[in-house]
Structures are given as C-alpha cells and as structure tokens.
Amino acid sequence: MDVKLYNTFDGATINLVNGLVEMDTGLGTAFYLSLFGGNNDGTEYWGNRIESDPNKRLKSETQKALAALPVTTGNLIKIQRAVESDLSWFDGVIYVSVGIPARGQANVVINTQTESFEYLLPWEPEL
C-alpha cells in the first residue's frame, strides 16, 4: 500500500481522510512515481537507492520528454513511448494514449485490465 497521490497540473498532492493520509491500494501512485519519480536537475531519484538492479530503477523518461520535446502532434508517439518505457516494470497489459487537450498540456491515459488512470500534465519544453 502506498500514500495516494492525486495528480495536479503543477505536481501531485495528497488527501487527508479523518486526519489520516489516504492510502492507495491500486497502481496509481506507482504509475505516477514511474512517470515523475526522477529529478530534472540530473540528480537521481531517492527511491532508486534501494533498488540494486539498474534496469528496475525509475528513469522518468516521460518527465524528460515533456520538458524537452516541442508540443506537436508529431511528438505524441514519443511521449507515448516514454510512458510505456517508464511502465515497463508492469507485468500486465497496458494501453497508453496521449493527446493535446489545450496549449501546453498533455493528457495521458493509461488503461490496465483492472484500472484506468488519466493525468493532465504540463507540456512546456525548457528553452
């Protein structure tokens, strides 16, 4: 069980229920951390320190792609591939779709056989 993270346009937040942090019994937090668990400043995500297998460490290709690629329909497949790469640890079947709902935004939808997640993310390349 993980602390439940709620996606916001400027990051993520948690929710308190009766004074306690709400917990996540599904994959939402694990997926979110896989997409955004890295650090843009080049330092390594703290959670990777407990993973001895370099192939299983979070790399946050999605976070990097959203910060590097221009917002164009031609780059949607690159964002989709980054999401799929970040979730490659997941043993089940996933379906990923990416769209541009508004200027400077990416809408990422991830479906598994049991859960569905939708993230509205800032897509603003660093110049």
Structural domain spans, the chain: 2-44+57-122
Q: 52 and 44 in contact (C-beta within 8 Å)? A: no
What is the tens place of the pLDDT at every residue in 54-87? 777 777 889 889 989 999 999 999 999 999 998 9
The neighbouring-strand residues paired with 17 are 20
What is the tens place of the pLDDT at every residue in 9-63? 777 889 999 999 999 999 998 898 888 876 655 556 666 777 788 777 777 889 8
Residue whose C-alpha is closest to residue 123's, from 92, 87, 82, 84: 82
| Confidence (pLDDT) at 49 | 77
The pairing of strands 105-111 and 116-122 is antiparallel
| Model pTM score | 0.84
60 against 101, higher pLDDT: 101
DSSP string, 85-126: HHTTT--S--EEEEE--STTEEEEEEE-SS-EEEEEEE----
